[in-house]
A and B are shown apart, each in its own frame.
Chain A
Amino acid sequence: MNRKEIFITSAFTNNSIWRQILGICSALAVTNLMQNSLVMGLGVTFTLILTSLTISLIRNYIPKSIRMMVQTLIIAAYVIIVDIFLKAFLPEVSKSLGPYVGLIITNCIIMGRAEAFAGKNSAIDSMIDAIGSGLGYTLVLLLIAFVRELFGFGSIFGFTVLGDWWQKWSIMVMAPSAFFLLALIIWIVNGPIATRKRK
């Protein structure tokens, strides 16, 4: 498999969220605003790239029996960097993301990629795979956030798009809409799109 294929596979055809249903806790929780989703997506991508790189470099030295613990500690170390960075440069976003920055540690995507890809492949390939997975994740987050912010607040990235005439849909700000929108995305991708490709 060449590098372009690795990227496309991890970003689209085998996208963590809509194919593997991984890491959806944060995908649901932070998507009420596009800004938060973008920051979250980039944070996960950053952690994912560095974790994959590290795991891939030391993959031959980690004893099999404790590899989960090693992976978790590596992830936690990078998440602390992300957290401190956000607190220093984007304090408001950091506050509204709350515990979800720390919860990147238990985001199954990172552990999943480390386990399924980085533990078996070379450093460069693992990084490309990580970039693909991270961007695929960010894309889904932004898609959900676009709909929720547009209908819920009438704005995109904080800029008002729909004027005062727009009756805000408060359901879009609340939890249920996130479940419905994610289900809709999974349905569209796995249903109509997947069946059309098979024909």
Chain B
Amino acid sequence: MEINAIVIFFAAIFTSNILLTNFLGMCSFLSVSKEIESSLGLGLAVFFVLTLTTALNYIVYHFILVSLDIVYLQYIVFIIVIAALVQLIEMVIERFSPVLYYTLGIFLPLITVNCAILGVSLFMIIRKYSFIQSLAFGAGSGLGWLLAILTLAGIRTKIREKFVPTGLQGAGLSLIITGIMALAFIGFSGIVVIQ
């Protein structure tokens, strides 16, 4: 069934948020979300890279892997594409925009091992999206991830001074907050539905 790309875009942000329903990109989500500023930096970098890699992986998958009949190599190829693209973006940003490089720079290497990036490419293949749909899905997922990490960072800065039981500091409490956020996001379901 052909789903409208705009529907996919909004669904990827709200109803099937890549982080809150598919748990992708948890590692950096938990470790970077201490400060709003760095969360914004990482979130923007993820959004940027996710949109580009999804488009690039779509082209690579459909025009190289399928036509050469080596689809089973998709994992290796996707990882190489992601790593190469991240490296390239890093160099381009460093050359043309030093200011942006200082905000995004340190986060770019982290992104190669962010499972959200690879996950979105794999979901795109499994769900058989077209190019425009993939682009919308990639951009939407990136924005959704940005939204989730900014929200968590905001909540975490508010509770920084509060008492937290032993053993629950850091990751434990962040997971509970994320759980409550996921519960809240269930409220969005029913607005738009995609598989």
Supposing A183-B179, A187-B165 touch, asked if A102 and B118 sit within 8 A by C-beta, the answer is yes
Pick the contact of B26: A28, A192, A194 (CB < 8 A). A28
CB–CB B178/A80 < 8 A: no
B171 cross-chain contacts in A, Cβ below 8 A = 21, 186
CB–CB B167/A111 < 8 A: no
24 pairs, A vs B, C-beta closer than 8 Å: A21-B170, A25-B25, A25-B119, A29-B22, A76-B75, A76-B76, A79-B75, A80-B72, A80-B73, A83-B75, A84-B72, A103-B115, A103-B119, A103-B122, A106-B115, A174-B186, A175-B23, A176-B182, A179-B178, A179-B182, A180-B179, A183-B176, A187-B172, A194-B166
A83 cross-chain contacts in B, Cβ below 8 A = 72, 75
The closest CB in chain A to the CB of B175 belongs to A183
Question: Does B24 make an interface contact (CB < 8 A)?
Answer: yes
Pick the contact of B172: A22, A28, A73, A183 (CB < 8 A). A183
B172 cross-chain contacts in A, Cβ below 8 A = 183, 186-187, 190
Question: Does A48 make an interface contact (CB < 8 A)?
Answer: no
B binding-site residues for A, Cβ under 8 Å: 20-27, 30-31, 72-76, 79-80, 83, 112-115, 118-119, 122-123, 126, 165-168, 170-173, 175-176, 178-180, 182-183, 186
Bound CA–CA A177/B180 (angstroms): 9
* 19 new A-B contacts at CB < 8 Å, known A179-B182, A180-B179: A21-B31, A24-B26, A25-B23, A25-B26, A25-B27, A69-B83, A72-B113, A80-B72, A80-B76, A98-B122, A102-B74, A103-B24, A177-B179, A179-B175, A179-B178, A182-B175, A183-B173, A190-B168, A194-B167
Q: Contact mask A157-188 → B, CB, 8 Å, 1/0?
A: 00000000000000000111111101100111
B24 cross-chain contacts in A, Cβ below 8 A = 25, 29, 103
B171 to chain A, nearest CB (A): 4
CB–CB A186/B25 < 8 A: no
The 3 tightest CB contacts between A and B, nearest first, are A191-B167, A179-B179, A99-B122
Most buried by A among B22, B26, B31, B182: B26
A189 cross-chain contacts in B, Cβ below 8 A = 167
A41 to chain B, nearest CB (A): 16
CB–CB B72/A195 < 8 A: no
Q: Contact mask A21-51 → B, CB, 8 Å, 1/0?
A: 1111110110000000000000000000000
CB–CB B118/A186 < 8 A: no
Q: Contact mask A64-79 → B, CB, 8 Å, 1/0?
A: 0000110011001101
CB–CB A99/B123 < 8 A: yes
B122 cross-chain contacts in A, Cβ below 8 A = 98-99, 102-103
A129 to chain B, nearest CB (A): 20
Bound CA–CA A14/B107 (angstroms): 27
Bound CA–CA A111/B126 (angstroms): 25
B26 cross-chain contacts in A, Cβ below 8 A = 24-25, 28
The closest CB in chain B to the CB of A107 belongs to B115
A74 to chain B, nearest CB (A): 10
Question: Does A108 make an interface contact (CB < 8 A)?
Answer: yes
B123 cross-chain contacts in A, Cβ below 8 A = 98-99
A194 cross-chain contacts in B, Cβ below 8 A = 166-167
